[in-house]
Structure 1
């Protein structure tokens, strides 16, 4: 069944990836109507999240953000597909780094790097940084159930010299690389909600206590890795930039969970600047503080 689904959808995805951006965004606009106005994909979740995060805004203001979010959300899906055939030149024109020297200075310290980011702006195109770095670029992700689409995602990333490692294999891969003398920059999109069984820390996110992922911090401490936050920004449709923010270069000396809490505050600040570019469809507050009892 997995192969059949892949055979049916892959030609469609390939065709979409070949479209010029002007036509690609025309299809995105049409899909927005379907996803937002007809299907209403996770609209209740989005509205609940926006109310929790932005209670100071009026309902009308939140509805404006909601509509902008869905436009951005659907654009992001098509941009991800476009990555399959986009040229290096085109991607570098559309996704720029404002201060690569911050990252490069950390490389000079000779330690592997934990790169933290949120599901914000064009996090999928962060993969383009691998053309600008010396360390091995590895993205930490949750393996897709369909092994054929999972391989497709891996192939797309490999275009830009990036490897993907399943969350369950992360520590083993990092330890093996360190033993071999391979320095890496490991990308963690750690802003979403973990399973309660894996919630070792509750942090405050928009004034609400929620379970948070702590794996990136714990790995950074164990392997003595530098830690960087990547702040994304959308310039206009199809154009983005990213800024590196140095967090810590001595993780073992930082109290437990302080790095994670710092990360949450950075994500929160980023969202407040332009909330329409965050991934609001995720049930970030589904456990909230009441489940600590």
Structure 2
């Protein structure tokens, strides 16, 4: 069944990935009309999240954010498909960085880094950064259940010098890489909601106490990897700009969970600046009513 699905879907993905950007965004407009107006994909989740996070905004203001978000979401997913066919030169033109010298200075010191980023703006095209660094680029990701699509994702990101490692194998692989004196840059999306049963830390995020994902911080502290927040702005349709900010120069000396808090504070700044680019279809605040007693007075 997995192979059948792959055989049926892959030709369509390949075809879309070869379209010029002008047609990509024309297609995105059509997908937006279908998802938002016809199907109403996850509208209840999006509206609930926006009402929770922005109670001070009027319903009209939140509706504007909602519509802009859906348009961006459609753009982003078509851009992700386009990654299959985009050239290295094109992706570097469309995803630029304001202060690459910061990362290069860390590399010159032999410092391993972890890019911590949220589901904001474009996280897929961040992989283009690996074309401009000396470090070996790793990306921590959740394996796709369909093994054929999982292999395809690995191949796509591999052409931009990114080695994907699953969350389950990440600690072992990164520890071995450090022991072999490999210079690393690791990418991880750190704003997702962990399972309540596995949650180690709860903290305020956009005014609501929720469980926080601490895997990125734990890897940094265990392997002396410097955590760096990558702030991404959407300049215009199909163009993004990133800025690096060091969260801690000495992660092993930082009090537990302070790196996670620093990451979440930076994420909040990004969201408040342009909320339409955050991924509001995620049920990020679904565990807000399950806060353990020791965290309820935060």
Q: TM-score, normalised by structure 1?
A: 0.98
Instruction: Identify the residue that residue 265 of structure 2 maps to in structure 1.
Output: 265
* Residue number in structure 2 paired with 1:244: 244
What is the deviation of 1:291? 3.7
- Structure 2 residue aligned with 1:100: 100
Greater shift, 107-116 or 34-43, is seen at: 107-116
> How many angstroms apart in 2 are the aligned matches of 1:55 and 1:137?
40
Match in the other structure for 1:215: 215
Matches within 5 A, 1:53-92: 53-92=53-92
Q: CA deviation at 1:289?
A: 4.6
Partner in structure 2 of residue 277 of structure 1: 277
Aligned to 2:45: 45
Partner residue of 2:296? Answer: none
SS state at 1:286 partner: coil
The offset of 1:7, in angstroms, is: 0.2
Report the CA distance between 1:115 and its aligned residue. 1.1
In 1, the alpha carbon distance for the partners of 2:125 and 2:59 equals: 32
**1:120-169 CA-partner distances (Å, limit 9, x unpaired):** 01111000000110010011110001011111111110110001110000
Aligned to 1:228: 228
The residue aligned with 2:254 is 254
**Partner of residue 6, structure 2:** 6
Map 1:92-241 to 2 at 5 A: 92-241=92-241
CA distance in 2, matches of 1:66, 1:57: 12
Q: Residues 209 and 291 of structure 2 are in contact (CA less than 8 Å); yes or no, is this contact kept in structure 1?
A: no
Instruction: Give distance in 1, aligned partners of 2:292 and 2:148.
Output: 39
Please state whether the residue corresponding to 2:193 is helix, strand or coil: coil
Q: For the residues of structure 2 that align with 1:69 and 1:162, how far apart are their CA atoms?
A: 28
Kindly report the root-mean-square deviation, in angstroms, between the aligned alpha carbons of the 2 structures: 0.9
Please say if residues 228 and 245 of structure 2, whose CA atoms lie closer than 8 Å, have aligned partners that are also in contact. Answer: yes
| Structure-2-length-normalised TM-score | 0.97
Q: Distance in 1 between matches of 2:24 and 2:115?
A: 30
SS, match of residue 126 in structure 2: helix
86-95 or 226-235: which moved more?
Answer: 86-95
User: Does 1:17 find its partner at 2:17?
Assistant: yes
Distance of 1:275 and 1:117 partners within structure 2: 15
SS at 1:290 equivalent = coil
